[in-house]
Amino acid sequence: MLRKNRLFTPGPTPILPAAQTAMASFAMHHRTADFRALYSRVLADMKDFIGTRNDVLVLASSGTGVMEGSVSNLTSPGDKVLVLTAGKFGERWRDLAKAFGCVVEMLSAPYGETISLDDIRQKLTPEVRCIYMQATESSTGARHDVKGIAKLVRAQGDETLLVVDAITGLGTTHFDVDGWGIDVIIGGSQKALMIPPGLAYCAVGERAWKRMETAKSPRYYFDFRKERKAAAKGESAYTPATSLFAALGAALDFIRQMGNGDLVAGREALVNNAELAAEMTRAGALALGLKLFAASSPAAALTAIQSPAGTDSSAMVKEFRESFAAVVANGQGEMKGKLFRIAHLGYYDYLDTIGILAALEHVLASVTGKPVEYGAAVRAAQEVYARCAAEKRQPVGA
Ligand SMILES: *Cc1c(COP(=O)(O)O)cnc(C)c1O
């Protein structure tokens, strides 16, 4: 059969056609009034997308660039920081903080699990200058309790900053950034925003701006204060990724349309869309007798599914690609071969979700050589969809 190439990876994700068109026809110089207007409009819209009144910065890099900036701008060598980790992206925080000479305290949970609030409470002292965590750990498919953690941090006062890598959290999870008191929240373009890799963004609150006055770690390109100053004039400090800004503008317009003209409502629709696709996928996997990798606290951004006993998930990933041109993600690091990951963040719809579950049935049959009850995953997903439709938890109308 004919095969269409489709990405089901938790970044990069499928690109919105309107964003692709916007990029292809874009030819603006960045030091012009027209571009300044686009830049300012996109930054203002990004506040609605993130759900904050804090300043938003958008930089040309992958997500890790702004993660690095959140260490270099907020810490001095020798600062004590607490890293909450239960996966490969949590470990990236550890490595970054070490690279800038921080004294890194770790609070770890096994891969696939989430960190307990009681454990955090015990580690949280006013000497901890920053807490670094993920909203959703894309390597395991687990969702962490940002709200609960923020409550603990804020109860302690203003000494500890909370920095959240929400690179797959934004657009898939509800956040009240200002209400909960998240000091820095970080996102990336190639995730729920439906545009190519190349932009990383963050919203930075007052406590964090204040910390930057005394933080001494070296920084240059990712100097948030310099970028904030430029942004106030509708510019970036250096050449911005201009065509990606055109794409981002188109994506934000699309999300606004999803909310019938209201960007905040559109963002909620995007979150609900991911939630529904994730719920369908979990039900489908379980109906095939598969086990979820992060069963106790699954994210909506993606679903990590354990490969059946005796089966290497690499063989499943390969079969998805070869038979259906569907690119699903293998496990990362030590998890390689043990699980595969199907994304729901961004430009995924009902047919994508039903399609990947139908493909999963064939992949499972061919890789394990065991009989599969065709339709079992699809039926379970259909039932989830029907129930949601009846509850008027309608997905997107785009
Ligand atoms: C994708 C992702 C990142 C950023 O990775 P880059 O390759 O630098 O864009 C960071 N954290 C999480 C949780 C992610 O999913």
Residue-range domains of the chain with CATH: 6-12+262-390 (3.90.1150.10), 17-257 (3.40.640.10)
Pocket of ligand 1 contains residue 134 by CB under 6 Å:
yes
* 148-165: burial string, b at 16+ Cβ within 10 Å, e else: ebbebbbeeeeebbbbbb
Distance 249 CA to ligand 1 centre (A): 21
Strand partners, 163: 132, 184
Q: How far is the CA of 370 from the centre of ligand 1 (A)?
A: 36
Is the C-beta atom of 169 inside 6 A of ligand 1? no
The answer, yes or no, to whether any atom of ligand 1 lies below 6 A from the CB of 353, is no
Å from CA of 169 to ligand 1 middle: 10
Q: What is the pLDDT of residue 389?
A: 87
Beta bridge partners of 161: 130
Alpha-carbon Rg for the chain in angstroms: 21
Q: Whose CA is nearest to atom 5 of ligand 1?
A: 63
| CA 376 vs CA 110, 277, 311: distances in Å | 31, 16, 20
Report which residue type is found at 172.
Answer: T
- Model pLDDT, residue 396: 46
Which residues on neighbouring strands pair with residue 302, listed in sequence order?
343
300 with 166: CB under 8 angstroms? no
| Ligand 1 centroid to residue 362 C-alpha, Å | 30
Token look-up 């199907």 returns: 342
Ligand 1 and 62: CB distance under 6 A: yes
Does any ligand 1 atom lie closer than 6 A to the CB of residue 11?
A: yes
167 lines ligand 1 (CB under 6 A): yes
This prediction has a pTM of: 0.97
Q: What share of the chain is helix, strand, coil (3-state, %, to 5)?
A: 45, 15, 40
> Does ligand 1 have an atom closer than 6 angstroms to the CB of 64?
yes
For ligand 1, say whether the CB of 13 is within 6 Å of any of its atoms. no
Q: Is the CB of 132 under 6 A from ligand 1?
A: no
Q: How far is the CA of 62 from the centre of ligand 1 (A)?
A: 7
Axis crossing angle, helix 263-287 with helix 33-50, rounded to the nearest 10: 50
Query: How far is 91 from 79, CA to CA, in rounded Å?
Result: 18
Residue with tokens 């250096």: 238
Please work out whether the CB of residue 165 comes within 6 Å of at least one atom of ligand 1. Answer: yes
Adjacent-strand bridge partners of 108: 85
CA 198 → CA 62, 65, 89, 119, 351, distances in Å?
A: 5, 10, 18, 36, 28
User: Using CA atoms, how far apart are residues 356 and 66, in angstroms rounded to an integer?
Assistant: 32
Q: Among candidates 354, 158, 381, which has minimal Cα distance to 287? A: 381
pLDDT of residue 397: 40
d(C-alpha 366, C-alpha 66), whole Å = 42
Ligand 1, pocket-test mutation among 7, 62, 186, 193, most atoms within 8 A of CB: 62
CA 368 to chain centre: 32
Measured in Å, residue 67 CA sits from the centre of ligand 1 at 9
**What tens-digit pLDDT sequence spans the chain (398 residues)?**
999 999 999 999 999 999 999 999 899 999 999 999 999 999 999 999 999 999 999 999 999 999 999 999 999 999 999 999 999 999 999 999 999 999 999 999 999 999 999 999 999 999 999 999 999 999 999 999 999 999 999 999 999 999 999 999 999 999 999 999 999 999 999 999 999 999 999 999 999 999 999 999 999 999 999 999 999 999 999 999 999 999 999 999 999 999 999 999 999 999 999 999 999 999 999 999 999 999 999 999 999 999 999 999 999 999 999 999 999 999 999 999 999 999 999 999 999 999 999 999 999 999 999 999 999 999 999 999 999 988 876 554 43
> How far apart, in whole angstroms, are the C-alpha atoms of residue 16 and residue 98?
37
Q: Which residues pair with 231 in a beta bridge?
A: none
DSSP H or E segment with residue 219 = none
Q: In angstroms, what is the span from residue 391 Cα to ligand 1's centroid?
A: 34
The answer, yes or no, to whether any atom of ligand 1 lies below 6 A from the CB of 138, is: yes
Ligand 1 atom closest to 135 (CA): 13
Rounded Cα–Cα distance for residues 324 and 1 (Å): 9
What is the crossing angle of helices 263-287 and 376-390, to 10°? 140
Distance 56 CA to ligand 1 centre (A): 18
- Amino acid occupying residue 152: L
Contact 256, 117 (CB under 8 A): no
The pLDDT score that the predictor gives to residue 351 is: 98
**pLDDT of 394:** 57
Strands 161-165 and 184-188: parallel
C-alpha closest to that of 96 among 196, 186, 20, 34: 186
> Which of 58, 167, 190 best tests ligand 1's pocket when mutated (most atoms within 8 Å of CB)?
167
Q: Give burial (CB, 10 Å; 0-12/13-18/19+) of 1.
A: exposed
Q: Which among 282, 280, 302, 298 has a CA at the least distance from the CA of 388? A: 280
- For residue 319 the two structure tokens come to 């079969």
Would you state the pLDDT for residue 395?
A: 52
The C-alpha atoms of residue 317 and residue 326 are separated, in whole angstroms, by: 9
